[in-house]
Structure 1
Amino acid sequence: MKAMSLKRLTPVLFGTLLIMTGCQQTHAQLQPARIADVSAQSKAQLQKAIQNLLNRDIKIADNAFSQANEILVERAILKDDRGLPIIGREFGNVLKLSLLTDGSSCFLQSSETAELQVTVEGVRCIAL
């Protein structure tokens, strides 16, 4: 089998480099964002994105991400039948959720999942 000549290989390498650079630039262009329209539908879409991101349900306020691009979520305190903490106050890590945009789509990122992001469908975001 004949080895590819440098002349034929150059366009392939150049194309690969362009694709890799484009992917990195798209990722780097994400900016902090807030939701444009606060509604029951936008909250439901945010809840769905959080569940997809973390594989668990987290309750958020009706106006979450309406003023800032981050919210802090504390772990729920387990209570007995009388409403008293079962083991006392737990000081677990606080979870930070961030809303980001690339100008056309919204993305949700968690401090737990580091670089992993999910798209928030059906929600319009405004860059801060």
Structure 2
Amino acid sequence: MRKKLITEVAGVIEASVEQVWAALLDDKPGYEMKTEIGEHTVAYQGGWWYRGEWSVTAHPEGALLVHRVFDVADRMTWGVPLANRLFIGFAKSTRESFADGLTRLGNRLGCATRLARTSDLQTG
């Protein structure tokens, strides 16, 4: 499968990997998508180009949640950027949506959360 990374965002959750993983699996998209589940990774794929991958790994403060959005179009690949208005603002809107979801997840688990820094990605 062809996968081109469009954007990546991550956050730290002060809870165990198992708690975050269970909560993540409870919070599935409200629309029909192909779902693939691995060891502490889940991917949702829908439409002709979109694939969102989520992973949970250990972090010194609890768990590191990483979300990556990929372009997986196997046809009309030239049309993906056009269909998404050249992805202008896509990274920012993905980060904002992720931050909102991270806060809701922390509230549900009763723990602190924060967006990750580059150093978190190296330790997670």
Same fold, TM exceeding 0.5? no
The structure with higher relative contact order (CA 8 Å, sep 6+) is 2
Higher strand proportion (structure 1 or 2): 2
Higher helix proportion (structure 1 or 2): 2
Query: TM-score when scaled to structure 1?
Result: 0.34
